[in-house]
Chains A and B, each alone.
Chain A
Amino acid sequence: GEDVEQSLFLSVREGDSSVINCTYTDSSSTYLYWYKQEPGAGLQLLTYIFSNMDMKQDQRLTVLLNKKDKHLSLRIADTQTGDSAIYFCAEWPNSGGYNKLIFGAGTRLAVHP
Chain B
Amino acid sequence: KAGVTQTPRYLIKTRGQQVTLSCSPISGHRSVSWYQQTPGQGLQFLFEYFSETQRNKGNFPGRFSGRQFSNSRSEMNVSTLELGDSALYLCASSFGENQETQYFGPGTRLLVL
Contact = CB atoms under 8 A, between A and B. Distances in A.
Given A42-B6, A45-B104, A99-B56, 20 more contacts: A30-B99, A31-B101, A35-B104, A41-B106, A42-B4, A42-B90, A42-B107, A43-B92, A43-B104, A45-B102, A88-B43, A92-B99, A98-B56, A99-B33, A99-B48, A101-B35, A101-B43, A101-B45, A101-B102, A104-B42
A32 B67 CA distance: 27
Interface residues of A, number: 23
B90 A45 contact: no
A101 B96 CA distance: 15
B104 A100 contact: no
B102 A99 contact: no
Contacts, number: 52
Contacts of B102: 45, 101
Contacts of A104: 42
Contacts of A30: 99
Contacts of B42: 103-106
Q: Which 8 A-B pairs have the closest CB atoms?
A: A43-B104, A103-B43, A100-B45, A42-B106, A42-B104, A99-B56, A42-B107, A99-B48
A82 B14 CA distance: 36
Interface residues of B, number: 23
Given A42-B90, A88-B43, A106-B42, A100 B103 contact: no
B9 to A, nearest CB: 10
Interface of A: 30-31, 33, 35, 41-45, 48, 88, 92, 94, 97-106
B96 to A, nearest CB: 11
12 contacts: A30-B99, A31-B99, A31-B101, A42-B106, A43-B104, A45-B102, A45-B104, A99-B31, A100-B48, A100-B56, A101-B33, A101-B35
